[in-house]
Amino acid sequence: MYLEQLSLTDFRSYEQVELSLEPGVTVLVGSNGIGKTNLMEAIGYLATLSSHRVSSDAPLLRFGTERAVIRAKLVRGEQSTVLELEINSSRTNRARINRSNPVRARDILGICQTVLFAPEDLALVKGDPSSRRRFLDELLVSLIPRHAATRSDYDRVLKQRNALLKSARAGKFSTGHEATLDVWDQHMARAGAELLHARLELVERLRPHLRNSYAQLTDRSKEAGAIYRSTLQGSVEDDGTAPAAALRGGSGSGSAAGPDAAEDLRLLSVDELTERYVQAFASSRRKELDRGISLVGPHRDELELVLGEAPAKGYASHGETWSMCLSLRLASYYVMLDDARTGGSAPILILDDVFAELDVQRRRKLAAIVSGAEQVLVTAAVEDDIPAELAGRRVKVIPGGIDEREDR
Ligand SMILES: Nc1ncnc2c1ncn2[C@@H]1O[C@H](COP(=O)(O)OP(=O)(O)OP(=O)(O)O)[C@@H](O)[C@H]1O
Ligand SMILES: [Mg+2]
């Protein structure tokens, strides 16, 4: 798919801006702080309903305004779709699809497909497990939008269950509470099992692409892998991280290709996983009542990224960390492309400020890999940072808008 038109009202630094785009490569050039990332962030927000830079919506509204609007015209094959998303400060966000009556923002998930590369991606490797869980869940929802509901069901039950556990910790627990907790356990087991099942399948799909992308970007000296570690396996520490020592137990070709601790879970159905959670909740109940929080569930799982024998986190060099982050994004692009062959759509690639971070070798390799995508949007403050492989349209971003004079 490609984005033909983007229009923003009161989004970030823009009072009003219109951007016309074409398939193929477009490089947006402009000085630091001019608003390039703001444009890319708006497109990413349409795809995921979240920003890659901030966790709340407030900074997305232009200072002093109450409402921002993102409008986009997307073209997929012969079909075009107009999306309009309203981000509100004091009421729920709403959307319109092809100028229909307003729908829930969530209903547009899956329509705009993007893969966004940004400097913030370093957190995928260096950050805490929540960054990697978010990576998985965002990709999952763009591939299978109904999982937005799976996620929010799970989050809702988790919140309620935590509130109950917290009150228990405060000494306000009775037999009645125990029965209520049993009910929450059932709900959380079901929602958790659905989420876990979907994540495990997704990791399976990502894994070969991650390995290949890393090999393509580097000199193939190390193999990149990913291991999903579930709290059901009892191997995740209380702080939500898996012990590094356990990972180094892999043999020969590295733990990435070696035995996977999640192997048995992958063979289980949603019903079987539900049963496992029910059992796990029962056996951790004492501990959970003491701590006042839910200790078992996909909200505490980890996606371990592995380079050769060692975990990427804490071991990888700066350059290796970057290659791993890029490979994860490329892997999600390839998974979406696989889907496109069976009715999905090829995502728009967005590379925001990444070339400045890379050495010449990796710039060229990344450029060569992405240049064939249906649409690639690249931002740069310095045009010379863009490798020749990404020849294409150049758009100049100027204060408050776009310079319409094209320079090819
Ligand atoms: N909510 C907001 N309201 C008004 N202005 C904002 C808002 N949020 C951010 N800005 C402004 O937007 C500008 C940042 O824009 P952006 O991050 O898109 O720059 P950029 O062109 O990507 O720069 P760089 O090349 O440094 O990455 C800043 O000047 C910032 O003050
Ligand atoms: Mg920027």
Reported as a single tens digit per residue, the pLDDT across 61-85 is 999 999 999 999 999 999 999 999 9
Domain stop point among 267, 285, 311: 311
Residue 330 placed within a domain: no
Which residues touch 301 (CB under 8 Å, ≥6 apart)? 129, 133, 196, 199, 228, 229, 230, 231, 236
51 Cβ below 6 A of ligand 1: no
pLDDT at 247 over 90: no
Q: How far apart are CA 150 and CA 190, in angstroms?
A: 10
Residue 336 CA, ligand 1 centroid: distance in Å: 30
Q: Where are the alpha helices (DSSP H) in 218-269?
A: 244-247, 263-266
- Residues 243, 385: one domain? no
In a domain, 123, yes or no: no
Mutation test residue for ligand 1: of 9, 10, 12, the one with most atoms within 8 Å of CB: 12
For residues 75 and 178, state if they share a domain.
no
**36 CA to middle of ligand 2, Å?**
6
- Please give the average per-residue pLDDT across 129-158, as a whole number: 96
pLDDT higher than 90, residue 171: no
pLDDT tens for 17-71 read 999 999 999 999 999 999 999 999 999 999 999 999 999 999 999 999 999 999 9
Q: CA-CA distance, 118 to 378, in Å (whole number)?
A: 10
Residue 333 falls inside a structural domain: no
Distance 83 CA to ligand 2 centre (A): 24
Ligand located closest to 351 CA: 2
Report CA 160 to chain centroid distance, whole Å: 25
Ligand 1 within 6 A of CB of 133:
no
- Report how far residue 93's alpha carbon sits from residue 116's, in angstroms, rounded to the nearest whole number: 22
Q: In this model, does residue 248 exceed pLDDT 80?
A: no
Residue 14 belongs to domain with CATH number: 3.40.50.300
- Shared domain for 183 and 254, answered yes or no, is yes
Confidence of residue 240 (pLDDT cuts 50, 70, 90): very low
Is 72 in contact with 112 (CB distance < 8 Å)?
A: yes
| CATH at residue 260 | 1.20.1050.90
Considering the domain architecture, whether residues 109 and 135 belong to the same structural domain is answered as no
Distance CA 327, CA 372 (A): 17
Pocket test for ligand 1, best of 34, 355, 386 (most atoms within 8 A of CB): 34
- Residue 141 domain-assigned (yes or no): yes
Report the atom number in ligand 1 closest to the C-alpha of 30. 21
What angle do the packed helices 175-217 and 129-143 form, to 10 degrees? 80
**Is the Cβ atom of 62 under 6 angstroms away from ligand 1?**
yes
Contacts of residue 110, Cβ cutoff 8 Å, sequence gap at least 6 = 141, 142, 143, 144, 145
45 and 179 part of one domain = no
Rounded CA separation 202/206 (Å) = 6
Domain boundary among 266, 294, 311: 311
pTM across the whole model: 0.91
**Are residue 139 and residue 275 in the same domain, yes or no?**
yes
Q: Considering its fold, how many domains does the chain have in total?
A: 2
Q: Which of 407, 399, 379, 384 is nearest to 36 (CA)?
A: 379
* pLDDT number for residue 242: 44
Tell me what pLDDT residue 178 has.
84
> Would you say the CB of residue 36 lies under 6 angstroms from ligand 1?
yes
Look at residue 236 and tell me whether its pLDDT is greater than 70. Answer: no
> What average pLDDT does the segment 187-207 reach?
97
Q: Two tokens at 142? A: 């763009």
- Distance, CA of 308 to CA of 58 (rounded, Å): 41
Q: Are residues 245 and 220 in the same domain?
A: yes
Express each pLDDT in 72-129 by its tens digit.
Answer: 999 999 999 999 999 999 999 999 999 999 999 999 999 999 999 999 999 999 999 9
In this structure, is residue 155 part of a structural domain?
Answer: yes
Residues 140 and 280 in one domain: yes
Q: Tell whether 167 and 87 lie within a shared domain.
A: no
Closest protein CA for atom 12 of ligand 1: 13
Q: Is residue 334 part of a domain?
A: no
Confirm whether 216 is domain-assigned: yes
- Residue 318, domain member (yes or no): no
pLDDT tens-digit series, residues 300-310: 999 999 999 99
* Pairing assessment for the beta strands 24-29 and 67-76 based on DSSP bridges: unpaired
Q: If 0-12 CB within 10 Å is exposed, 13-18 middle and 19+ buried, where does residue 263 land?
A: exposed
Contact 290, 307 (CB under 8 A): no
Same domain, 53 and 138: no
Residue 104's domain comprises 2-113+346-406
The pLDDT score that the predictor gives to residue 405 is 67
pLDDT tier at 346, thresholds 50, 70, 90: very high
- Percentage of the chain exceeding pLDDT 70: 91
Q: Is residue 140 domain-shared with residue 90, that is, in the same domain?
A: no
Q: Last residue of a domain, which of 296, 311, 326?
A: 311
Please indicate, yes or no, whether residues 95 and 34 belong to a single structural domain of this protein.
yes
Grade residue 170 by pLDDT with cuts at 50, 70 and 90: confident
